[in-house]
A and B are shown apart, each in its own frame.
Chain A
Amino acid sequence: MYGLFLRHFYLIKSSFPRILDLIYWPTIQIILWGFISKFFSSYSDYYNNTVGVILTCAILYDFLFRSSISFNMLFLEEIWSRNFTNLFIAPLKIKEIIVSLIFTALLRTLIGLVPAIIITAPLFGISILKLGLPLLFLFLSLYIFGITLGLLVSSGLLRYGPSFENIAWSSLFLLAPLGCIYYPIEILPHFFQLLAKGLPLVYIFDEARNILMNGDVDYTKIYFAYFLNIIYLVVSICLFYMSFSRSREKGTLINMGE
């Protein structure tokens, strides 16, 4: 496990452009949402006196986005470098590959997001830490969902090969409207509300807004988000194992390595 972590750690540390790339997009994203947030907080009744709501949600969403993309990127990196075969003939259990990628994805995510979070205080006078201890629960919940999406996309890559790559990039954009990141679920049409209620994102972002706007914490929503997260995570892990098995039957693993 440590070997696989080390492989990606070496990759990141040896390349300044790679580190810059990891930091650049979250920073730009957060600066942009910082200004939008500033504008809305001045002109919207809903966000009145809650300057950091949009920006905080933007940071949380970016954390989710980065964790999922990081997981996919680690997987794609092996395909692009034609190292896939070497990785899958090493004596690594599938669960070890998953755990290793989970921790490495966290490293990548934090490299990108920590500088972006730090600049929000001097630039916009907002600190995401205002969410207090529940912030930790929200981050963890988002991370689990990000990893779940990463696992689902990686299962597709295992099963269908590199042609599944485009899905890796678009998976989160598909869920973003239903995740109710910046608005309450009631905004969605009824049918979409039904779909959205099955996503942990709705409860996570709703609770983030609730904490910032009302100053109290409704742990039932946080717990329910975890409950949904665990279900999806278990499903995605099972799917990953099934895809691995299927790719051994169909020969995808061997073709992907060459």
Chain B
Amino acid sequence: MDNYLKIESLHKSYNNIEAVKNISFSIKKNEIIGLLGPNGCGKTTTIGMILGLLKPTSGKILLNNKDIEKNRIETLKKINFISPYVELPKKLTVKENLIVYGKLYGVKDINLKIDYLCDKLRLDEIIYSITGELSSGQKNRVSLAKAIINDPMLLLLDEPTASLDPETGDFVRTFIENYQNEKGNSILLASHNMSEVERLCSSVLMMKNGSIIDYGEPNKLILKHGRKNLEEVFLKLTRKNEF
């Protein structure tokens, strides 16, 4: 299968800190890869570089064989992102936000797209609500709608179910699964929810101190490290050499 995203020897240092140290990995089409690691291990920096928000100190990021640094706008059309730490304009209604982002991403038939998103993400009841007045779960669904408004070939999910109740969390996970099956896109999922990663991801990257310390299918990693589940693998790997 083709690698849709290819990271080659990616390195980032700023403020005298080596945030990401020569990491390499790839994501194939129709694949969900999990990005795991403790806080401050370099996950957000890696995602930031893929999104073009950070300039790599060295290394390459290729999206569909095109260097992101050299084709920033072209590649951004094919990427999207969701994070609980990034919000949509609070004073706008859900529909206004979706129209704005539809326009920014050059979506052709925006009304048709909004109808599709309303249907898939249960937005009908809140479409005319003010975004800032929604509950966390509702906001999350709206952010997800924004994240898929351009039918991204690469979707970056940074803790997409953080602070959601179990029902909404499950709804989001099921949606991601179904959406990925329907569109066949590539997804990079950064999460601290190990069961979520086990459920959604075909492979997992374990990061620590800016480096990838292990990589593989969740089941194989569990077997390799002789643990019961991914959470135990995570704890074993991240606590290694620490006091």
The answer to whether B235 has its CB under 8 Å from any CB of chain A is no
**A81 close to B90 (CB less than 8 A):** yes
What's the dominant secondary structure at chain A's contact region? Answer: helix
The answer to whether B112 has its CB under 8 Å from any CB of chain A is no
Interface residues as binary, B1-37 with A (CB distance below 8 Å gives 1, 0 otherwise): 0000000000000110000000000000000000000
Interface residues as binary, A213-247 with B (CB distance below 8 Å gives 1, 0 otherwise): 00000000000000000000000000000000100
**A92 close to B104 (CB less than 8 A):** yes
**B76 close to A250 (CB less than 8 A):** no
**B105 close to A90 (CB less than 8 A):** yes
Contacting residue for A253 out of B53, B73, B80, B83, CB 8 A = B53
**B88 close to A83 (CB less than 8 A):** yes
The answer to whether B54 has its CB under 8 Å from any CB of chain A is yes
CA distance A77 to B73 in the complex (A): 23
Question: Chain B: interface residue count, which band?
Answer: 35 or more
Give every chain A residue within 8 A of B85 (Cβ-Cβ). Answer: 82, 257-258
CA distance A249 to B45 in the complex (A): 11
Which segment, of A4-12, A114-122, A139-147, faces chain B? A4-12
The answer to whether A190 has its CB under 8 Å from any CB of chain B is no
**B87 close to A2 (CB less than 8 A):** no
B:78-132 near A, CB below 8 Å = 79-81, 83, 85-93, 96, 99-106
The smallest beta-carbon distance between A83 and chain B, in angstroms, is: 5
**B53 close to A89 (CB less than 8 A):** yes
CA distance A82 to B91 in the complex (A): 12
The smallest beta-carbon distance between A16 and chain B, in angstroms, is: 12
CA distance A231 to B70 in the complex (A): 29
Known: A89-B76, A250-B15. A258 touches B104 (CB 8 A): no
Contacting residue for B53 out of A7, A15, A88, CB 8 A = A88
Give B107's nearest chain A residue, CB to CB. A3
CA distance A11 to B131 in the complex (A): 12
The answer to whether B48 has its CB under 8 Å from any CB of chain A is yes
Contacting residue for A248 out of B55, B93, B105, CB 8 A = B55
CA distance A120 to B86 in the complex (A): 44
Interface residues as binary, A5-31 with B (CB distance below 8 Å gives 1, 0 otherwise): 011001100110000000000000000
Give A13's nearest chain B residue, CB to CB. B96
> Which A residues have a C-beta under 8 Å from some C-beta of B?
2-4, 6-7, 10-11, 14-15, 77, 81-86, 88-93, 245, 248-251, 253-254, 257-258
A3-B100, A251-B45 known, 4 other contacts, Cβ within 8 Å: A14-B96, A81-B88, A251-B14, A253-B48
